[in-house]
Amino acid sequence: MIYNMEQSCKIGDATFDYILSAKTRHSRNEPGGKLTITLPTKELKKHNVKPFDEVTWSAGYAETGLNTEFFGFVKEVTPGEKESTIEVRDAFWLCSRHRVRVNYLDIIRMWDELIEPLIPGGYGLSWDVRLATVQLYRFRNIYNKTGTFVLWVLKTSRNLDLRWDGKVLVIQPAFDARTLEGDLPEFKFGYNIVEDKLKLKAGKKLQIKVRGEDQSYMDRRGSGTFGRVIEGVYPARCPDCEELIVDVDSVSSTSDAVDQAKAIHTEKAGWGFTGSFIALGAPSARVADSIQITDPDNPERTIKTYVDTIEKNYDYQSATFRQEIWPGAFMEEPRA
């Protein structure tokens, strides 16, 4: 089947119907997404593009429709004789330009202190109700740290995934089983996967023990004594397993520690892929979300997994729109 590429690029008040290329990158292990736009210099000269201009880039096919692939802000404009490039970053970049002046944050106050002062109106927050009590205390001193640092502490200390979906900051537990619900973007060998660089990685016997301070012993200003140490183990019984102890900043209960241990186990010990695959630009996948990979000839490679890193490449001159996806651990055991 032949698909007809389409794209839409809006920078500030200007709309660019024609660009030479666009490349994006998002990763669970990198704070913030990147977009590089290349366009003819004569097109750039028609408009006054400047740093901090709002950027919305959408792409897809006439047959499947457009998806918003990147929303962010102009970081740098580099004019050339014939071609010019525009470097764009998502809202994490704005957060890196702001320093936090408090030592205590929970998710709601984080929004008030960190997000709302930095970016224009019309933004939102999507977060799991179970994260309502997540707090960052003095023992991970956040005073005078950049907003990006604070968000990254939140991510790494609580094993969360953070990303911007357009104007919405999404905060969700890593490897959340609820992301498996509904119709997942499906990538199928021999259909929309055009290049296969994947290798199957078998799971291993590993028991994760998570240890952290009981944050209920701390007051809202981060003062007071440290609480008792809470531990959580996953799997609960595994006599032949190697043990890996992971110290985290804080836990709210034993069940919270077990949930964190389970998520770490999924990534460290679960079945998965190494390498990447290249697919058509549709269906559109997003970092940290679950996808379905289907291999009609190999049941072991027919699996639900999540997107660890994703790069998208829209090239007008070669008439190609591709996404390269590095899958993470499997969200379920492979079939024999």
The pLDDT value given to residue 254: 86
pLDDT band per the 50, 70, 90 thresholds, residue 335: low
The pLDDT value given to residue 311: 99
Whether the predicted pLDDT of 69 surpasses 70: yes
Q: Give me the residue label for tokens 């201009």.
A: 53
> Mean pLDDT, the chain, as a whole number?
84
Mean pLDDT of all residues in 2-10: 92
Q: What is the pLDDT of residues 258-315, one digit of tens each?
A: 888 888 887 787 778 889 999 999 999 999 989 999 999 988 889 889 899 999 999 9
The pLDDT value given to residue 182: 76
pLDDT band per the 50, 70, 90 thresholds, residue 166: confident
pLDDT band per the 50, 70, 90 thresholds, residue 202: confident
Please report, rounded to a whole number, the percentage of residues in the chain having pLDDT higher than 70.
Answer: 82
- Does the predicted model carry a pTM greater than 0.75? yes
